[in-house]
Amino acid sequence: MTVAAKAKAPLTETAKDWWRGAVIYQIYPRSFQDSNNDGIGDLAGIVQRLPYIASLGVDAIWISPFFTSPMKDYGYDVSDYCDVDPMFGQLSDFDAVIETAHRLGIRVMIDLVLSHTSDQHPWFKESRASRENARADWYVWADPKPDGTPPNNWLSIFGGSAWHWDARREQYYLHNFLVSQPDLNLHSPAVQDALLDVARFWLNRGVDGFRLDTINFYFHDQKLRDNPALPPERRNASIAPSVNPYNHQEHLYDKNRPENLAFLRRLRAVMEPFGAAAVGEVGDAQRGLEIMGQYTRGDDLMQMCYAFEFLSATQPTAARIVEVLNEVDRVAADGWACWAFSNHDVVRHASRWHLSHAAQRMFATLIMCLRGSVCLYQGEELGLPEADVAYEDLRDPYGIEFWPEFKGRDGCRTPMVWEHSNQNGGFTKGTPWLPVAREHLHLAAAHQEDDPGALIHHYRKAVAFRHAHPALMDGSHADLSAKGEVVSFTRTSGGQTIFCAFNVSDRPADLDMPSGDWLPIGEELGGAHASADGKLHLGPWQPWLALKRG
């Protein structure tokens, strides 16, 4: 498939606030494009497909981990922060990603996993060797209780205790995720310095920013206090599936610690001379927006964070959208959100919310009109549904642990489909690491390119519409309202004000015209037309967008 790149100017200098309102395209490299036919996507494959990404009009890419790793958690268990795993290529291939992306006017963000490493990392191998070595305190070690049990009640997101006994040191070590992912001790200044050196390594190599995995997990309570129980009515399965007892605790002491702010300021100081930006993943079911506000407030912390409000299982109603945006105003008015409906950790939203084609178009337009930046996940622009991966084909340890009540994350990680002429969708000529979903083939990118009414063209129009209007890129929002299933608000920047209304239901809806003189815009996005009776008559899943005149 050949796609002409969007005519964007090459990056020649860094604009300080390039990230504000940016549209970021997430690449899961194992599943994007295989260049050597071993069944696994790689960095050379990304280079091959960058013109396609440029054609979408996005500002940046975020590449999930490609560092050296034993792949117990598919790259989120790093054994060398400063090298490329051979399955993805080598450092020269990453340099080609940077050079090609920048030539096409696209910035490059990479996924840094700073809260934990693989147990195969040399740092951990040294740390576990004794209690006296130079890196003895680089991980979170603790003595058992007198009865030999773990030091407290903290739980792992992947199931069971967050503590694992190590016979070498006769101590437990903390792992918020897999046993093979020991948590770093960021209370150690030496650990902080080493991680900041990692950031410098990639910044000097030309990256434009970072996606920071589990940004609120960096620090733990040094007193190792037990987490309190969470009442059933406050439990929320947005971070962990409902069958996981992790939801039974209020996570006050194993994450979300106030000491993190000082480290984030150090990280921002490292990024600042490069004009780099970061988006942090805030994993917390109760306080996600509040933490997002804390971590993005002012000019010396992170530029953006995302919480899980719109990654939840329940399709957002008009009332819920207004509730979330009002809460952001309350707890993060001085910060900056980065919105996403899908990513590599959740069921694709086309399936999660049971969306029709019309609904997918409406939500694509909606996210481009929200105050904040935007992350799109590979294949979202094609309308890919969640793939049904058989148990015998599962790779995700999370899904294997909680099957069948929770099927894990493999269904959103199956290979990208580029063409529909072969069973692997143009992803590889080998055997793909996860099966290509048969139901995805008719949605392949090449097939959609030839169909003017296909979803991919709507995404291009929505991204272009956002870029064409400063109010949508970096403006304020006001007049948030939910009337029935119509959500509406205004966006304003400088002298430009845009009124945005969305019918988030499959039934027609009416809305009173806003006062003032408005010029309807966004007809290419399926926007409604104003009627002579002073009412907006919105069809199912239809927006109305208008520019204030005068």
Work out the number of other CB atoms within 10 angstroms of the CB of residue 91: 12
C-alpha span between 276 and 272 (Å, rounded): 6
Query: Which of helix, strand or coil describes residue 229?
Result: strand
Which residue has tokens 């204030």?
548
Contacts of 371 (CB under 8 A, 6+ apart): 325, 328, 337, 475, 476, 477, 491
Q: How far apart are the first and last CA of the chain?
A: 46
DSSP 141-173: EEPPPTTS--SS--B-TTSSBSEEEETTTTEEE
Whether 99 is catalytic: no
The helix (run of H) or strand (run of E) holding residue 463 is helix 455-468
Whether the bond between 404 and the residue before it is cis, its omega within 30 degrees of 0, is yes
Measured CA distances, 219 to 191, 379, 483 (Å): 12, 34, 42
Among the options 77, 281, 345, 386, which is catalytic?
Answer: 281
Among the options 111, 213, 380, 485, which is catalytic?
Answer: 213
Answer yes or no: are the C-beta atoms of 211 and 281 closer than 8 Å.
yes
Whether 213 is catalytic: yes
> Which DSSP letter does residue 477 get?
E
User: What residues are annotated to the active site?
Assistant: 213, 281
